[in-house]
């Protein structure tokens, strides 16, 4: 009688212990998977990033992309930056291959409006498309550890020709809007590129 009483009492207890043990195993595995440490190709831990080469006619775009890539490396924590190639494990070379600016133009004839001169052009939308190449090379070698090419585009609003009180296109505004669009593009593209380099994709 005592034996049956004890077994009936211990059976639920063993079930609880077994559940806790299995739960511990599963959460332990999940913890290990979530804490997997990604590494850069070639197990590179220190990078040297020279100023991007600029094959386009857009000035200063190489500076925007170089700064964005460096900030992305520092933000990620996967590698450190070196000011010289000799102190780095690998060199990450960037090249601006092209920068294209296109506008969606609308021609307004003088018969349609009394405010604008004949054949006035209203640029209602502009688009900037940038093509970039990144190459990760082993320090002091021509060995390529990783390579990626990316093309992205973004719209921005250029100056408008509208009413008599605002009837001229401000070139300074256009340059400022273009600069801000390029900076935003550089951040987005370098984040994508670096994430893919970490995944060796």
Could you state, in order of their start, the residue ranges of all structural domains in the chain?
Answer: 1-36, 39-198
Residues 147, 62, 68, 152: what is their CA dihedral angle, to the nearest 10 degrees? -60
pLDDT at 6: 46
With 60 as the cut, is the pLDDT of residue 110 above it? no
pLDDT at 121: 56
- Judge contact between 186 and 132, C-beta under 8 A: no
- CATH architecture for residues 39-198: 2-Layer Sandwich (3.30)
- Judge contact between 39 and 77, C-beta under 8 A: no
> Which residue's structure tokens are 């170089």?
66
pLDDT at 177: 84
pLDDT at 126: 83
pLDDT at 112: 58
What is the pLDDT averaged over residues 17-36?
49
Report residue 167's pLDDT band, with 50, 70 and 90 as the boundaries. very low
What is the pLDDT averaged over residues 135-146?
95
- The pTM is what? 0.71
Encode burial over 161-193: b for 16+ CB neighbours within 10 A, e otherwise: beeeeeeeeeeeebeebbbebbbebbbebbbeb
* pLDDT tens sequence across 41-96: 999 999 999 999 999 999 999 999 999 999 999 999 999 999 999 999 999 999 99
pLDDT at 34: 35
């Amino acid at each position: 009688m005592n034996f049956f009483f004890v077994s009936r009492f211990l059976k639920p207890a063993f079930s609880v212990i077994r559940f806790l043990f299995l739960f511990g195993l599963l959460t332990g595995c999940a913890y290990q998977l979530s804490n997997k440490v990604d590494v850069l190709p070639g197990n590179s831990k220190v990078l040297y990033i020279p100023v991007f080469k600029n094959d386009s006619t857009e000035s200063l775009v190489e500076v925007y992309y170089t700064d964005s890539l460096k900030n992305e490396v520092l933000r990620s924590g996967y590698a450190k930056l070196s000011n010289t190639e000799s102190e780095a494990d690998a060199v990450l070379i960037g090249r601006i291959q092209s920068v294209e600016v296109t506008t969606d133009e609308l021609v307004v004839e003088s018969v349609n409006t009394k405010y604008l001169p004949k054949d006035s052009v209203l640029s209602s939308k502009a688009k900037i498309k940038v093509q970039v190449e990144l190459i990760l090379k082993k320090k002091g070698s021509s060995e390529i550890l990783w390579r990626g090419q990316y093309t992205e585009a973004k719209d921005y609003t250029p100056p408008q020709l509208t009413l008599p009180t605002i009837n001229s296109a401000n070139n300074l505004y256009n340059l400022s809007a273009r600069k801000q669009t390029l900076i935003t593009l550089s951040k987005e593209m370098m984040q994508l590129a670096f994430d893919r380099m970490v995944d060796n994709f």
